Structure 1
Amino acid sequence: MSEQEYEVGVGPWQGEWPADARYDEELLAAGDRRNVVDHYRYWSLEAIKADLDTQRHGFHVAIENWQHDFNIGSIVRTANAFNAAGVHVIGRKRWNRRGAMVTDRYLDVHHHETVAGFASWASDNALPIVAVDTLPDAVPVEQRALPEACVLLFGQEGPGLSPEAVAAADSAVVIRQFGSTRSLNAAAAAAIVMHEWVRVHAQGA
């Protein structure tokens, strides 16, 4: 197969251009090679985000970032895939965006300097915090329906959630495992739990 056949996306728009403000003239002229679903081909970034904003799901995702965790980018990308209401980075403001593959532009990423500040935000917005970690009192995620409106809180790769984050959580869930490793990769765990929320609350969406 030729190299052309492996190209992502579509080439320049064929025929008369659509009279719709959501379409980006540069993309119509040059083609759209972005990693977006076909429905959003040729749309401007701003138009895509605005449309996604009308359909956001009820869960937010929060990640502690005390050690510059490289998983954050992948978690943001997954949060975009499941159209999370928002992403919250707790601790260091800077995080490695390479893993996000520019998906951070399609949803709101908030920063909280401390766990206390994040917990205050969640309380002000009436959002229960669900900790995801191998905690003694954690319930297997498939055995406890996640709240429709909530924040899913993930810790650092390795140490997991900080004691402050555990104390701030309203409940805790765990992903059952059957091998020898103690914990899953943080990005993989986030994807599983987000999908569980979608399985319960977004069937048929």
Structure 2
Amino acid sequence: MEDNEAVGVGPWPDGPDHWPDDPRLDPELLAAGDARNVVDGYRYWRLEAIVADLDTRRHPFHVAIENWGRDFNIGSVVRTANAFAAAQVHIIGRRRWNRRGAMVTDRYQHLRHHEDIETFAAWAAAEGLPIVGVDNIEGSVPIEGRALPSACVLLFGEESQGLTAAAQDASEVVVHITQYGSTRSINAGAAAAIAMHQWIVQHAH
């Protein structure tokens, strides 16, 4: 894409006198144009209207990631969770995380913070959501061909150390993504995307 290529859409082409009578639309965006990272169907929509519409069709899987050392992959995980309409993203550990990789998608995605694994596991149990850990550790099983629960939490560890022992203990099962090259592991953000898409392939319609 050329540096000067326009992103999004410009002001409503027919001018203010012909703006659509739709409460979901934002007058400022209609007047100035909409360059946000949203699909065309949401052009000119208010942020609150987009979130409300997404809430009518979010999927029943959640995503959780441990954040003990301020993992830079969290933004990428949030962005992918938004793309696949995950119910919520759960940050376990440090409340603060680098939002740059989310590309503003965190504004449209429900986020929840948990102080520690124990608090998170108690929440999941109260909601009746099984925890599926994702890590290539000893005893894990391949995610390929594995039936994932239709309602569950996909739990990911930090980039540097993977799932902690407490996270492994909280998981009903730990799955791994089969690899065929020389590297010991793949990027945590990439692994999260693959695992989420595996759920999508099995359950999304």
> 2:14 aligned with 1:12, yes or no?
no
Deviations for 1:17-53, whole angstroms, at most 9, x for unmatched residues?
1111100000000000011000000001110010001
Structure 2 gaps, min length 5 = none
Question: Corresponding residue for 2:45?
Answer: 43
Cα distance in 2, alignment partners of residues 81 and 67 from structure 1: 25
Cα distance in 2, alignment partners of residues 55 and 188 from structure 1: 24
Cα distance in 1, alignment partners of residues 96 and 46 from structure 2: 26
One-letter amino acid of the structure 1 residue matched with residue 60 of structure 2? G
Cα distance in 2, alignment partners of residues 10 and 67 from structure 1: 39
Once the two structures are TM-superposed, the CA of residue 58 in structure 1 deviates from its matched residue by: 1.1
Cα distance in 1, alignment partners of residues 68 and 147 from structure 2: 29
One-letter amino acid of the structure 1 residue matched with residue 39 of structure 2? V
Alignment of 1:1-205 (within 5 A): 6-15=5-14, 16-202=18-204, 205=205
Cα distance in 2, alignment partners of residues 2 and 161 from structure 1: 41
State the 4+ residue runs in structure 1 displaced beyond 3 angstroms.
1-4
Cα distance in 2, alignment partners of residues 135 and 118 from structure 1: 21
**Partner secondary structure for residue 142 of structure 1:** coil
One-letter amino acid of the structure 1 residue matched with residue 12 of structure 2? W
Deviations for 1:180-199, whole angstroms, at most 9, x for unmatched residues?
11111000000000011001
Once the two structures are TM-superposed, the CA of residue 135 in structure 1 deviates from its matched residue by: 2.0
Once the two structures are aligned, what percentage of the paired residues are identical?
Answer: 65
- C-alpha change, 1:3 and 1:132, in structure 2 (3 Å) is closer
TM-score (norm 2): 0.96
Cα distance in 1, alignment partners of residues 52 and 80 from structure 2: 19
One-letter amino acid of the structure 1 residue matched with residue 187 of structure 2? N
Once the two structures are TM-superposed, the CA of residue 3 in structure 1 deviates from its matched residue by: 5.7
Supply the RMSD in Å over aligned alpha carbons: 1.2
Aligned residues: 202
One-letter amino acid of the structure 2 residue matched with residue 11 of structure 1? G
Cα distance in 1, alignment partners of residues 80 and 103 from structure 2: 11
TM-score (norm 1): 0.96
Once the two structures are TM-superposed, the CA of residue 2 in structure 1 deviates from its matched residue by: 7.4
**Partner secondary structure for residue 60 of structure 1:** strand
**Partner secondary structure for residue 39 of structure 1:** helix
Once the two structures are TM-superposed, the CA of residue 158 in structure 1 deviates from its matched residue by: 2.0
